[in-house]
Amino acid sequence: MTDLVNFEVRRAEGEAFLSGLSQEVLRLVYDIPEATTTYRSKADIQRLLPQDMPKSSQGCEAFIEFVRSVFVPNIRTYRHGLHFGHQRPAPSLASEAADMLNGATNTTVSVFEAGPVSVAMESTVQSWLRRLFRLSDDAAVTFTNGGSESTLTALLCARERWEKAYPERDFRDACVLIGTHAHYCVERSARVVGIRPDNILRFPSDERGRASVPALRDLVRQITEKNTPILSIIANSGTTAMGAFDDLQAFRTLADACGAWLHVDASHGGAAIFVRELEDKIAGLNTADSFAWNPHKLMWVSPPCACLFVRVCEDLHLALVKDLDQAHYIVERSQHLNDEISHSENLEWTLACTRQFSALKVFASAFLYGTDATAHRIAAMCKLATALAELVRKDGRFALFCEPEFNIVCFRHIGNTHDPDAFNRDLRARLARQPACYLTGTEIDGAYWLRAQFTSETTNLDHLSLLLDTVDHEARRVQDKTSSKS
């Protein structure tokens, strides 16, 4: 039981509470457990939780005990050396500090008078990013809740510009061109802005997962011959499945030729900007009409922390400002409290009204580590991916999908089977239930591959052999099960 004073715990107990909690957080960062998770079932975890919403305080100590005995042991440890799972990093200490400050202050980034320091810091971080990506001062940088929101906002901009250019034409007759390996949010965003599903067209990729430029050129020619307008072409910098990068300069030329809005989904691969040896992969990114990049991937910060860049800021502004006249409770356009800032200013650049001050995570990371550390870390992850690919290539038990371009490797077990797709699918399902390592799978052009991505700072070369041996061990068990059935 806890005594509450003005609905809050007393100071002495509050101090004990926060220091107990920070001990747990420290253990999360520095003490890596043996297994990547406990593999308890959802029902088993739920049995450890209060079944009814507590009516009275359970107490600070009980909360710490809950964190220690239930929460921490049942997370998936992204910091584990054998974690190759989803593209979601273990947050850095800088990110944790930012989350703590955001949690403690709930400071806003929407209205200057309600969040002076956060609004000012967000503007500064936006200028940092404009310079990092070599954009002009005329470009808009906004923080969103993720790559999906960035893509949707980008397509709203595309629609707005198109409607302004062709007031006599219905944008719903226009088409949007997306890659075979586009993230699902791209097709969804196109549907949400009102593109007809049969006007969302896919261009094929080459054997390494990059957009096939000749095929795209053909598709654009066929469409324009039919007199159908192209609203937008969407390129990938770092596909979700295998981290492939499209040739952005070729996309720019094609988009210019047909008047389409070029959006680049660099949610994952935009981080290449930090690393000199990788920068070429995103050459031309700053010529796109818009692009998305998620620091909540390869900047090791917690979500949400994502950005949308729009090369001509007016395009974004026009798409979002129209409805703001109705927001009288926040927006006082005619009344400028101080000379430089109108209340509505930040709201005019984002789809969301309430947003987290996620720029603080970029700020804290740069402040604590410098961008050099981020660059080294990304380069190290890519090196590990290359090393795994090399091991796979030399190992008769496995097949490699292709040389990795970034921090993702797709490979599979050869097995003694007529159906490698079903075999590897079963294998992945088995791997998901064992404690040693964690990796995902992906479908590429109808074939099933295992997928390992690198974000864990504790992964080293020994883990790579361990991973392959674990995969092989489980593959034998799949094989045994299959042979005993037949």
Query: Where along the sequence are the contacts to ligand PLP (CB under 6 A)?
Result: 87, 146-148, 183, 185, 238, 240, 265, 267-268, 294, 306
Q: How far is the CB of 306 from ligand PLP (least distance, A)?
A: 5
User: Measured from the CB atom, is 265 or 474 closer to ligand PLP?
Assistant: 265
Q: Which two tokens stand for residue 124?
A: 């500064």
Q: How far is the CB of 141 from ligand PLP (least distance, A)?
A: 16
Q: How far is the CB of 88 from ligand PLP (least distance, A)?
A: 9
Q: How far is the CB of 305 from ligand PLP (least distance, A)?
A: 9
Q: How far is the CB of 188 from ligand PLP (least distance, A)?
A: 10
| C-alpha span between 75 and 327 (Å, rounded) | 41
Q: Are 285 and 308 in contact (CB under 8 A)?
A: no
Angle ∠(57,63,64) on CA atoms, nearest 5: 150
Q: Is 145 helix (H, G, I), strand (E, B) or coil?
A: coil
**Whole-angstrom Cα Rg for the chain:** 25
Q: How far is the CB of 322 from ligand PLP (least distance, A)?
A: 25
User: Measured from the CB atom, is 349 or 406 closer to ligand PLP?
Assistant: 406
Angle ∠(188,193,199) on CA atoms, nearest 5: 70
Q: Tell me the sheet residues that pair with 143.
A: 307
User: Measured from the CB atom, is 240 or 356 closer to ligand PLP?
Assistant: 240
User: Measured from the CB atom, is 89 or 147 closer to ligand PLP?
Assistant: 147
| C-alpha span between 420 and 245 (Å, rounded) | 27
User: Measured from the CB atom, is 68 or 188 closer to ligand PLP?
Assistant: 188
Q: How far is the CB of 153 from ligand PLP (least distance, A)?
A: 12
| C-alpha span between 231 and 158 (Å, rounded) | 7
Q: How far is the CB of 146 from ligand PLP (least distance, A)?
A: 3
On the CB side of 422, CA atoms within 13 Å amount to: 6
| C-alpha span between 20 and 381 (Å, rounded) | 33
Q: How far is the CB of 143 from ligand PLP (least distance, A)?
A: 12
Supply φ then ψ for residue 332, to 5 degrees.
-125, 75
Q: Is 126 helix (H, G, I), strand (E, B) or coil?
A: helix
Question: CB under 8 Å to 445, separation ≥6 — which residues?
Answer: 180, 205
Alpha carbon distances (Å) from 479 to 410, 413, 419: 21, 11, 12
User: Measured from the CB atom, is 102 or 224 closer to ligand PLP?
Assistant: 102
Q: Are 240 and 179 in contact (CB under 8 A)?
A: no
CA 32 to chain centre: 24
User: Measured from the CB atom, is 119 or 272 closer to ligand PLP?
Assistant: 272
Q: How far is the CB of 152 from ligand PLP (least distance, A)?
A: 10
Q: How far is the CB of 282 from ligand PLP (least distance, A)?
A: 13
On the CB side of 220, CA atoms within 13 Å amount to: 24
Q: Are 143 and 358 in contact (CB under 8 A)?
A: yes
Q: How far is the CB of 408 from ligand PLP (least distance, A)?
A: 10
Question: CB under 8 Å to 417, separation ≥6 — which residues?
Answer: 423, 479, 482
Supply φ then ψ for residue 176, to 5 degrees.
-125, 130
Angle ∠(266,267,273) on CA atoms, nearest 5: 55
Question: CB under 8 Å to 255, separation ≥6 — which residues?
Answer: 233, 261, 262, 289
User: Measured from the CB atom, is 342 or 407 closer to ligand PLP?
Assistant: 407
User: Measured from the CB atom, is 266 or 389 closer to ligand PLP?
Assistant: 266
User: Measured from the CB atom, is 342 or 365 closer to ligand PLP?
Assistant: 365
CA 98 to chain centre: 18
User: Measured from the CB atom, is 81 or 238 closer to ligand PLP?
Assistant: 238
User: Measured from the CB atom, is 110 or 240 closer to ligand PLP?
Assistant: 240
| C-alpha span between 115 and 347 (Å, rounded) | 13
Angle ∠(317,319,325) on CA atoms, nearest 5: 80
